Each structure stands twice: as C-alpha cells, then as structure tokens.
Structure 1
C-alpha cells in the first residue's frame, strides 16, 4: 500500500479505529497532505488482501474502520468488501469523502455510521483550491449531502483554512446553508503539500480561526476547530 493502515483514536471520535487509505482522487487540492496517493490511482489485489488481513488481525483492538484516502469511492466495489468485513464483526464504519460521488454513496449508505465530507470552499469557488474538478461539483455535493441526511447518517463537514486561498467570508458563505450535524474548521499545516509553494505559507493562528467560527451565522448545531496547538476544540454545541 502507498500508506499503511493506521491506528487512530481521533479519526472516529470516541472510538479506536483503523484508518484504511485508498489511492487516487478526482481533485488536486493544492494543500493535499497525502500527495503520494495521487501518483497511483490503482488499488491492486495485493493491496486489498493486505487491508483485509490488517483488519482481521486487529478486530480485538478496534471499534471502527475509517475509509479514507485519496477518495475511497473511486474503489466502491472494493470498499464494499471492507465494509462487509467490518459489519460481520460488529465494527462501526466511517467514510471520508469529497462528496463528488452521490451514486456510489447511495450504494453503501445503509452500512455507514459516520461520514466526514471535505467542503473545500464555497461550492461555486472550487477553483480557489484545485484546478481539477467536475463542472457539476455543486450539484454532486448537494446530492451527496441529501443522500446522507435522508438516511440519518451522522455527517461532519470540514474545511481546511489555507491563508491566501480562503478568506473568512468564504467560511461564512459555505456554512450559511450547509445541512450537517457538525462543522469543523481545520488549521492548514505546511509540512507536506501537493503544491510546494504552499510550504512557504504560514499556518493560520488558531485564535484567528476561532474568531471566524464565533462570528458564523449558521444553523449547524455543532462547530469545532482543529489545530496543532489545541487539538479538536468545541466552539458551539
């Protein structure tokens, strides 16, 4: 595998999970912190067998699996097998996704317990973050959100705040009518980025990010801030 499955007590809140990374993505976010996954779009039979063996050997130590990447829904038939393996062992399942695959989301939604969707920017302003994305991005993401909500699956939407790519008004705009259970604003980290120029960008001050969140006018019931300095902070809810 490009990245080995990883233990985490953070990726599924309140649960010990095994995070399974899949290669490939249909976006090219400038700040992507897993750029090595973009080089190889394939999930080989060897990769699949390795993941299944890793899950099997860790059943007694985890509460959940997290399907992450990359974009897991590029490999929907393969992740169906991982989901079945997890559910057969009474594990919870969380999906990390960019929201661009409503049809694939619908195929697995009944077996999901939690979805974390990355909302990169206001839905008509993805050009700020990535120069590769579907023309119907806004429609696809809204469809995906509706599918998740219609099935009463917990939905967390999250945005990485990158100075010079986003402004405080962008966060207000994208959260104004966002229908999710939790919104998390994530501090940009400049250690590993797809666009090497971003390594020169300063990480935003968490107090600045907190001020953005405290001024939001939104009906989202829970608002959080994730930063290197203070971890995952509850701002509202």
Structure 2
C-alpha cells in the first residue's frame, strides 16, 4: 500500500497502518508489485459530534444485555472511521441502575445491563485522540426506558370443561404501559383459540401454548 505525498497522511508500516497528519484529502493505493490494484480516497477531518445508539431499542428489559453504539461525525455530518487511538468514555445518569460491562478498545461499542426499572440517559464524550485529551467538548446523548420483564401470570391456566363455550382473558405482568399482543400454537381440532387481545375461547378439551410480546417492541416477549 502507498499514500499520496501530500502531507495529509503517512503510511506507518508497509501493510495497512495509516496516520493522518493534517486536515485534507489524500489517496491510498493498493499495489501488487508495481501494479495498482485498487484506489481509495482518505479525508482527514476534525470530529464534531457523537451519535449514541442503544440496541436493540430504547426500550430495555432489566437483566438483559444491550449494546451502546457511538458514531463520531465531522462538521459536515460524515461518519468518521474510529481508529484505535480514538477514545470515547461513557457516563450514565437516571433512575435505572446500569452497569457498563465491557467496551471495545476505543469505546465505540459497549455491552451493558440494567439492574432495575426506570429511565436513564447515556452521555458519550470524545475523551482523547492519540493519547492527547481534547479541550473541545464533543459529546452525544441518548435516553432509554427500562421495563420489568414481561411474564404470563399465572404461567399455567387450567379450565374446567363444561358443555358451553367459555371465554377467558389471559393476564400478564411487566412491560410497563406498553400494549401487549398475544399468540398461541394452532390446534387442528379448533378446541381452543386465542385472540391477539389475550382472550382464550374454549370449545372442547385440549391444551395450547401461549406467548405474549409488546406490540411495538416484538423483542420483548414472554
């Protein structure tokens, strides 16, 4: 690999380590012997802001792992490639107690877990580049809500069969105030059916496995 002799960037090894030395644009060339195989543009810019993304969503179940992903942008809104010498530090405030378990080397991806229900806000700050602390404040924030795990209560329902059709409303706990959608295993006999509202219709003897999930957040389920 080679780099244009523009002073914008230098190649620190003979393979792939490139260091930006001043603001501007240069080109990288991938070589095979004396033959150019591929070319790419390299732009050295100053960081301007950080976008914080909480995955899988901003609605979290306590006790379950989630990820905090940080993306650094320049002033024009272009995402920057985070190198190993860029360091982001996180802080968490709010009612929910959140443990930051482990991060990758530059702090752009962090695994975390919430220990109780409540709201919290994550603040990501660009702390240093190449070992030098930044005087300029570059940060981003994102908030999320932590809910109690969703559960069907009671976990098993027994119905005494009579000759008349019976309708029974299933119950759940957890999930906050979010609406819940119910589903169940299909029965060829049609002895038991389940509506998305959680109403079970019993027409004959049999059994059915039921499930519930938050309507707007299908990953939160019981």
After TM superposition, the score normalised by the length of structure 1 is: 0.20
Structure 1 or 2: more helix by fraction: 1
* Higher strand fraction (1 or 2): 2
- Which structure carries more relative contact order (alpha carbon 8 Å, separation 6+)? 1
Give the TM-score taking structure 2 as reference length: 0.21
